[in-house]
Each structure stands twice: as C-alpha cells, then as structure tokens.
Amino acid sequence: MKIIDITQPVSVTTAVWPGDQPFELNWTMQLARGDSVNVAALTMSVHTGTHTDGGYHVSRNGTRAADLPLPAYIGKALVVDARGRAVLDEDVLRDVDLKTHRRILFRTREHINPSEFPRDFLSPTAELARRLVAAGVLLIGSDAPSMDTVDSKTLDSHHVLADAGVAILENLVLSDVVAGVYTLIALPLKLIDADSSPVRAVLVQGSIEE
C-alpha cells in the first residue's frame, strides 16, 4: 500500500482567495512560557488550502459542512490529466467511462505553490458539470482553487454541482500524481453551521490493510 498526500500544507504563508481570512496561528499555552503543554489556536477560512465546498457555500438552503455525505469522500477515484488544455470542457471526458468512475479528480497544473494564488486556472464549464451530474458522479475534485473562474459572479458550475449534491474538492496537490485509478480518502470536519470544511486528502495505491 502506498499513500500519496494530495493536501496543501497550511501555514501563515498559505495563499487564500483574494479578500478571504488569512491563516493565523497563535499559542494559548506554551512549554517555553512555563505552561504544562503546548496548545495552538487557529484563525482561518474553511476554504484555506485543500477543502470541500458544501452546498451552503453558494445556496441559502445548501448542505452545511457537518451534514455532507461521507461516502462521497471515500472510494475509488480517477485522476484525469487535463494539463495543457485551454478549457476544461466535456472533451476532457472523451476517454473516461463515467459508468465505472464516479469520483473524478482533474490535474490541471504542472506544480502547486501553496504560497501563491493562481490568477489563471482552469475550472470546469457548466456544460461539463451538467454532464458529470447526469452521469451520477459523486465527487469532482481539482488542483485549482475553484470550480468557477476567479471573476465569476454567478458561479454556474458550483450551482450545478451543489444543487445535485455532488461533492466538491478544491486546491488538491496532484503535482506528483500519475493519471489513473486510486482510492480517495478526504473527509470533511464535522463543523456545525459552516458552509465548507478543510480536508486531509490522500490517494491510496494498493489494498488498504491494517
């Protein structure tokens, strides 16, 4: 069994969506100050680094983070190499059997620098999102920071996916991942009322054993 960590590291240097809450780490207790333990306190957006978007992110009646269906985040996933494309449209699925693959992860970039927000990134078109929904896909993920363009105001792809209950993963790190089939594990935190949640996402090659 091989575990591939596809999660962005989170620190004070982690780039966030323009205008979002920067990551902060403070210490409420420290051994160096004479306390009996070290205890860190975090201030961060739930969209920091690798995360899942809940439906409430784009809809008043959408699913909150604590209620996201966990089975979508565990299981067989297909990594699709979409590097070099000008647009992430239905053509990317030309060689994909959607009857077999119900979790799709798109690699769109060569390398990920978590400290730099990419101004130019690929996001799935609304037509691609609708195709995935119609095929019964459970989850769609990407190494981009959003399912819509950075300047989108209508968030069409987000709405198509969220309205259908398709799980969304963003800011994955797929730089060293070869296209193919893996086992995905990327569970959201049980955050009551939050719209979305950070995840620790991994891909597993081989059998999962004790």
At 22-47, the pLDDT tens digits run: 999 999 999 999 999 999 999 999 99
pTM for the model: 0.96
In this structure, is residue 35 part of a structural domain? no
Is there a domain that residue 51 lies in? yes
Query: Is there a domain that residue 86 lies in?
Result: yes
Domain-embedded: residue 13: no
Q: Which residues pair with 43 in a beta bridge?
A: 24
CATH number, position 189: 3.50.30.50
- Residue at 210 is within a domain: no
pLDDT at 194 > cutoff 60 = yes
Q: Is the residue at 27 inside a domain?
A: no
Q: How many domains does the chain have?
A: 1
Is residue 28 one of the residues assigned to a domain? no
Residue 210 pLDDT > 70: no
Mean pLDDT, range 136-148, rounded to an integer: 98
| Residue 141: domain span | 2-8+46-205
The model's pLDDT over 83-119, given as tens digits with 9 standing for 90+, comes to: 999 999 999 999 999 999 999 999 999 999 999 999 8
Binned at pLDDT 50, 70 and 90, residue 206 comes out as: confident
| Strand-pair category, 39-43 with 139-142 | unpaired
The pLDDT assigned to 209 comes to: 66
* 21 occurs within a structural domain: no
pLDDT value at residue 119? 83
C-beta separation of 165 from 56 below 8 A: no
pLDDT tens sequence across 48-84:
999 999 999 999 999 999 999 999 999 999 999 999 9
Mind telling me the catalytic residues? Answer: 57
